[in-house]
Amino acid sequence: VQRPVAPRRNVRILLIGERGVGKTSLILSLVSEEYAEEVPSKAEEITIPADVTPEQVPTHIVDYSAVEQTDDQLAEEIQKAHVICVVYSVDDEDTLDRAASYWLPLIRRCSPDNRCPVVLVGNKIDLVDYSTIEAVYPIMKEFTEIESCIECSAKTLQNVSETFYYAQKAVLHPTTPLYNYDTQE
Ligand code: GTP
């Protein structure tokens, strides 16, 4: 069902995914422009002012930590998010499998009629000399709410700002029409 979309005055980005994939590191690398070996389990919610974002919209970035938050709190954050980065680690195939088997279905369950765009983020490319994009294509085909995918490294900062730019873009300039999961219309 197509609906007119009012222009957003802010963007709320949530990062989820398996433990240890680097969600907190990505946020802190974006903010400080340097990599810290030691990060807290959950980053404080941060707001990036409009004038320093590529799309000129204030952007809230929200971390998730399984040790600090309950499933109910996670469900609430998923409902509040305008876009969700599902993060996996390119050096650990299981984390991508879990994106498809757990995290993407969870997003659908939590926001059944409110299609939330997703960016699939493969972190830690500094550790490998291959690309996981081939494995990502079938997942993007199954979950059309995935607006884009990107590989990055919180450690070398490669593609970190691009990752958050893709997330902003998925909200402000979605490429796929809004639709209903059940009917795929
Ligand atoms: P949880 O809080 O358990 O959900 O983990 P998280 O997804 O927030 O991961 P976190 O940022 O705590 O990072 C986990 C580990 O991976 C840490 O030891 C980081 O230093 C490391 N790490 C994060 N990003 C990268 C990266 O891009 N490259 C490498 N080599 N290590 C990384």
Q: Can you tell me the ipTM of this complex?
A: 0.99
**Cβ–Cβ < 8 Å for 151, 133:** yes
State the distance from the centre of ligand 1 to the C-alpha of 3, rounded, in angstroms: 38
Mean pLDDT of the chain: 91
Task: Give, using CA atoms, the residue closest to atom 4 of ligand 1.
Answer: 19
- With a CB cutoff of 8 Å and minimum separation 6, the contacts of 77 are 14, 62, 64, 69
Instruction: Give the model's pLDDT for residue 52.
Output: 86
Instruction: Give the model's pLDDT for residue 185.
Output: 43
The single-letter DSSP state of residue 126 is G
Closest ligand 1 atom to residue 39 Cα is 12
Position 55 confidence tier, pLDDT thresholds 50, 70, 90: confident
Rounded average pLDDT over 128-132: 97
Does residue 20's CB lie within 6 angstroms of at least one atom of ligand 1? yes
pLDDT digits (tens, 9 = 90+) for 138-166: 999 999 999 999 999 999 999 999 999 99
Does residue 121's CB lie within 6 angstroms of at least one atom of ligand 1? no
Position 4 confidence tier, pLDDT thresholds 50, 70, 90: low
Does residue 65's CB lie within 6 angstroms of at least one atom of ligand 1? yes
Rounded average pLDDT over 18-36: 96
pTM over 0.80: yes
Position 180 confidence tier, pLDDT thresholds 50, 70, 90: very low
Query: What is the rounded CA–CA span in Å between residue 50 and residue 65?
Result: 26
Would the pLDDT of 178 be above 60?
A: no
Closest ligand 1 atom to residue 123 Cα is 27
Instruction: Give the model's pLDDT for residue 146.
Output: 96
Does residue 92's CB lie within 6 angstroms of at least one atom of ligand 1? no
Q: Which stretches does DSSP call E strand in 23-173? A: 46-48, 59-62, 83-89, 118-123, 146-151
Token pair 């969600």: residue: 23
Closest ligand 1 atom to residue 154 Cα is 27
Task: Give, using CA atoms, the residue closest to atom 1 of ligand 1.
Answer: 19
Q: Cα 163 to the chain's mean position, in Å?
A: 8
